[in-house]
């Protein structure tokens, strides 16, 4: 019997698993998908929020900054990619009072790195933005990270420290036993003393399996546009627009790897599994971002994507032991859930202790996880051409020319504690197929390496992210924008 069974392998579930691996306990992490980080985590902006936006009276307001403070240490231990950039909430109005109120709320949440700055100081930080900004709330410690790499790193380190991961195990039902729970999945049955429900968009469904139905998950979709690597290099901070009566606006930021990212919008009229993008919404995001940062070139578009946020009917995080003793809900973890995830994990540990779980620290716990890839400047094609043309298995061979991913890096990703069954799984670990051509050149080359290493046939056309999903492509956006100008 497991001491704790965690349902859900997103950033919250993997963070809880890794935190529990500090102790001498028998932990199981169940995930219904073919890999970890396959839900909201992989379609996330990657913003490490300051912690000033959410009301102090809400749990998500109190946990955001507590989580944010842990990112530097976690990145040093796990090497998932975090950069402290600072953030700006920009106002074009003369009245700075809304920003003062945001700062006041941030101070209540514990922040000590906030200031309201004027247009001159804004331009010192962001010289390339459109220059009608009057005031901005500046948060020094906000930043960006690679969210799916963070979840993968959490899972790898948790497994290294004794956690069991079972993928492709969808929970069908849960039976309450005298000494715990029996969880039935499509693959088998698992017994555990405690259950942590971190099932994201489906947390309400899981909760109802034990008769707890005091909330609903109301999906909210947000669409984004991602541009080629290097397009974000002129952006130094995460840039938000101050909400007005006309709307909240969209963010303009550079990703951890230097891609320009704009979005998201927000739409409550969506289904939990629909991650399609729509031309009208994508064009609206583009035009809103263009009003803030005019140097956006739509020809550098490489991908649109949608994230579905697990908004709860309570409009707050739900982190509590339920009326069913031993069953803990960790639900409604929408933004700033990524930022808060380390603090959420610590809170869950305390709930488990208070519920009676005996936790003894593991003296052999190893917090370190070596990186698969590290951020490095891209070389020009002439410098790498010979390495691209090397045969399979040659030392120094480059498989992905856009992101300059080495064959040895792909091999490393394939032989860690989580079997990588798809090319998309390799992408999230190495960035292969994530560049300008989106895998047109290297997808078959990645499959070739996988087949050699695993001795199994790999379908290079299989893309779980595109299964039944329609996404706006660059040509469609260009045609639509041209039609608006005619």
Other Cβ atoms closer than 10 A to 31:
27
Q: Characterize 339-377 residue by residue with b for buried, 16 or more Cβ atoms within 10 angstroms of its Cβ, and e for exposed.
A: bbbbbbbbbbbebbeeeebeeeeeeeeeeebeebbeeee
- Number of helices (H), then strands (E), belonging to the chain: the values are 14, 21
Residue 3 is inside which H or E element, if any?
A: strand 2-7
Query: Rounded to whole angstroms, how far apart are CA atoms 402 and 394?
Result: 19
Q: Characterize 260-286 residue by residue with b for buried, 16 or more Cβ atoms within 10 angstroms of its Cβ, and e for exposed.
A: bbbbbbbeeebebeebbbbeebbbbbb
Full DSSP string of 39-64? STTTT---EE--S-SS-TTSHHHHHH
Indicate the SS3 state at residue 79.
Answer: coil
Longest Cα pair distance anywhere in the chain, in angstroms? 70
Query: Rounded to whole angstroms, how far apart are CA atoms 239 and 89?
Result: 6
Closest CA to 131 of 310, 291, 257: 291
For helices 59-68 and 337-355, give the axis angle rounded to 10 degrees. 100
DSSP state of 300: G
Token pair for residue 451?
A: 């087949």
131 counts as catalytic: no
Catalytic residue among 49, 131, 191, 466: 49
Question: Which residue numbers are catalytic?
Answer: 49
């Amino acid at each position: 019997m497991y001491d704790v069974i965690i349902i859900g392998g997103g950033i919250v579930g993997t963070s809880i698993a890794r935190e529990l691996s500090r102790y001498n306990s028998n932990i199981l992490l169940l995930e219904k998908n073919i890999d970890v980080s396959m839900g909201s985590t992989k379609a996330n902006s990657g913003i490490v929020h300051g912690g000033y936006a959410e009301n102090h009276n809400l749990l998500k307001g109190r946990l955001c900054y507590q989580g944010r403070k842990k990112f530097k240490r976690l990145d040093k231990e796990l090497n998932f990619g975090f950069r402290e950039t600072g953030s700006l909430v920009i106002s074009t109005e003369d009245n700075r009072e809304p920003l003062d109120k945001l700062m006041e709320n941030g101070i209540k949440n514990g922040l000590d790195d906030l200031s309201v700055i004027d247009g001159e100081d804004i331009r010192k930080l962001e010289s390339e933005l459109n220059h009608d900004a009057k005031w901005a709330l500046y948060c020094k410690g906000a930043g960006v990270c690679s969210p799916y790499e963070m979840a993968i790193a959490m899972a790898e380190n948790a497994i290294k420290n004794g956690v069991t991961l079972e993928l492709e195990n969808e929970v069908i039902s849960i039976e309450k036993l005298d000494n715990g729970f029996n969880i039935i999945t499509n693959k088998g049955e698992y017994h555990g003393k405690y259950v942590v429900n971190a099932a994201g968009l489906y947390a309400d469904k899981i909760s109802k399996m034990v008769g707890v139905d005091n909330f609903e998950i109301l999906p909210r979709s947000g669409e984004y546009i991602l541009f080629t690597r290097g397009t974000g290099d002129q952006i130094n901070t995460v840039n938000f627009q101050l909400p007005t009566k006309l709307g909240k606006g969209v963010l303009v930021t550079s990703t951890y790897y230097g891609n320009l990212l704009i979005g998201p919008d927000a739409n409550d009229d969506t289904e939990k599994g629909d991650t399609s993008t729509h031309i009208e919404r994508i064009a609206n995001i583009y035009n809103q971002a263009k009003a803030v940062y005019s140097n956006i070139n739509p020809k550098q578009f490489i991908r649109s994507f949608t994230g579905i946020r697990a908004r709860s009917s309570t409009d707050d995080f739900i982190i509590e032991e339920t009326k069913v003793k031993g069953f803990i809900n960790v639900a409604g973890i929408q933004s700033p859930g990524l930022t808060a995830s380390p603090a959420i994990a610590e809170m869950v540990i305390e709930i488990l202790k208070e519920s009676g779980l005996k936790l003894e620290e593991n003296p052999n716990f190893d917090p370190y996880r070596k990186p698969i890839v590290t951020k490095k400047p891209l070389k020009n094609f002439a410098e790498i051409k010979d390495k691209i043309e090397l045969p399979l298995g040659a030392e120094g061979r480059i498989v992905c020319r856009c992101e300059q991913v080495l064959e040895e890096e792909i091999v490393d990703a394939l032989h860690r504690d989580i079997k990588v069954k798809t090319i998309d799984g390799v992408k999230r670990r190495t960035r292969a197929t994530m560049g300008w051509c989106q895998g047109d050149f290297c997808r078959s080359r990645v499959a070739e390496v996988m087949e050699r290493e695993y001795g199994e046939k790999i379908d290079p056309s299989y893309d779980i992210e595109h299964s039944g999903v329609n996404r706006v492509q660059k040509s469609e956006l260009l045609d639509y924008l041209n039609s608006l100008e005619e």
